[in-house]
Amino acid sequence: MAKLTVKDLDVRGKRVFMRVDYNVPLEEKDGQMVITDATRIVETLPTLKLLIEKGGKLILTAHLGRPKGKREATMSLAPVAKKLSELLGKPVAFVDDCIGEKVENAAAGMKNGDVILLENVRYYNEEEKNDPAFAEKLAKIAEVYVNDAFGAAHRAHASTEGVARVVAKRGGKCAAGLLMERELKFLGDELEKPARPFVVILGGAKVSDKIKVIDRLLEKADALLIGGAMAYTFRLAQGYKTGKSLVEPDAAGIAKSALAKAKAKNVKFLLPLDDVVAVPVKTDKLDKKGKPVIEYQNPKASADLNCPDDAAGLDIGPATVVAYAAEIMRAKTILWNGPMGLFENKQFAPGTNAIAQAVAEATQKGAKSIIGGGDSVKALNKAKLGDKVTFMSTGGGASLEFLEGAVLPGVAALSDK
Ligand code: 3PG
Ligand code: MG
């Protein structure tokens, strides 16, 4: 890796300002915020343990949710400090601010190997604005900068970018953590020269979200398998009826160009052969966001590529599962990003689950499988197959932007080797 990593650092007795992505899902239970998935915390433990062993004083900074510059109690990192302490097996002091005297006092009292976690940086508006004066305030206690927050590395914010610049200007080192290094290795280097066949599975709701990734991967992949609602925008582009399926009429043009590019590049471009369709009906019930809950009636597999007027396509059908699984079983490298249907709803989870199963089996047979974060990771974990793949990214938006070929500001700001 071209960037300095924590392995190259001497941190004994130094205050290490470490940015982590502890933007974890929380749920309120009996008036308390409870972490429902601690993966992002667990994944930073190797970096923390290494830096503790090296005798650094670790000051962790993170964001949680989007509090927009306000002290939202439900977005406090206090429960995260508690969880981290349990996982690390040592005390983690929590400071209920990220700048100012409280932080300076806490930092002054640290011994080598101590860990503290600062309160949500997004309680200040200046964080997302990457305000230089705010970055200076954050950097006040920093002698070394470490970024292990791959999931937030696509943001040019004060704690992900500005602080690194301040530390570097003072002659301090800015290094990638071990998680950051792994993410860049699997989503970057490993896909540069993949063992072939290289099969890419892309799903999710929108073509417009994925078009840059599709475009870039058409340069590298041997086959692209498309699922999720975005498949219906491709159908629209091919002149089929899409009924009430989620489609982006404005993106039909880019879908057409992708199909043409695949043909020109001789890349197999597989679209669903059949679907699971159902009739969506609005109910009187409201969801958490106050929107009417939709019920899906009469779900059935359909091999008619024209969707009935009153129905929506919500999952890939059984024939598609067979065809996609065969392609996956032939692969030596697999990249998967995005579910094959509305998998949060049990009725429409079989397609995504079958793909998860195929990816796990292909991995067992020796393929390298890389899961590009977000919903595909959720689906794999739900199917209890998370440990059966080679790598699962902790990034959502960050993985997508990185796969598009973008330079992530949080990475760019780190010192070169
Ligand atoms: C994420 O969860 O995707 C990252 O933590 C970044 O959060 P954001 O999308 O609110 O910037
Ligand atoms: Mg996000």
Confidence (pLDDT) at 21: 98
pLDDT in tens, 223-272: 999 999 999 999 999 999 999 999 999 999 999 999 999 999 999 999 99
- Ligand 1 atom at minimum distance from 63 CA: 5
Cα–Cα distance for residue pair 391/310, rounded to 1 Å: 40
Cα–Cα distance for residue pair 138/401, rounded to 1 Å: 26
Mean pLDDT of the chain: 96
Cα–Cα distance for residue pair 373/396, rounded to 1 Å: 5
| Beta carbon of 71 within 6 Å of any ligand 1 atom | no
How far does residue 162's CA lie from ligand 1's centre (Å)? 17
pLDDT in tens, 309-332: 999 999 999 999 999 999 999 999
Whole-angstrom CA distances from 209 to 212, 338, 385 are 8, 11, 26
pLDDT in tens, 356-403: 999 999 999 999 999 997 889 989 998 999 999 999 999 999 999 999
Mark whether 397 is an active-site residue. Answer: yes
Please name which ligand lies nearest the alpha carbon of 151. Answer: 1
Confidence of residue 288 (pLDDT cuts 50, 70, 90): confident
Which pair of structure tokens corresponds to residue 377?
Answer: 């990771």
- Ligand 1 atom at minimum distance from 149 CA: 5
pTM of the model: 0.93
Cα–Cα distance for residue pair 46/20, rounded to 1 Å: 12
Confidence of residue 162 (pLDDT cuts 50, 70, 90): very high
Mark whether 40 is an active-site residue. Answer: yes
| Beta carbon of 157 within 6 Å of any ligand 1 atom | no
Burial class (CB in 10 A: 0-12, 13-18, 19+), 100: exposed
How far does residue 396's CA lie from ligand 2's centre (Å)? 6
> Mean of the pLDDT values across residues 60-77?
97
Confidence (pLDDT) at 373: 79
Per annotation, catalytic residue among 372, 374, 395, 396: 374
How far does residue 23's CA lie from ligand 1's centre (Å)? 7
Residue found under tokens 């950051």: 180
Which pair of structure tokens corresponds to residue 337?
Answer: 């990003």
Would you say 254 and 207 are in contact if contact means Cβ atoms under 8 Å apart?
Answer: yes
Confidence of residue 289 (pLDDT cuts 50, 70, 90): confident
Confidence (pLDDT) at 285: 92
How far does residue 395's CA lie from ligand 2's centre (Å)? 8
Asked if the model's pLDDT at residue 64 lies above 90, the reply is yes
pLDDT in tens, 13-47: 999 999 999 999 999 999 899 999 999 999 999 99
Confidence of residue 287 (pLDDT cuts 50, 70, 90): confident
Would you say 233 and 366 are in contact if contact means Cβ atoms under 8 Å apart?
Answer: no
Confidence (pLDDT) at 46: 98
Residue found under tokens 């650094």: 56
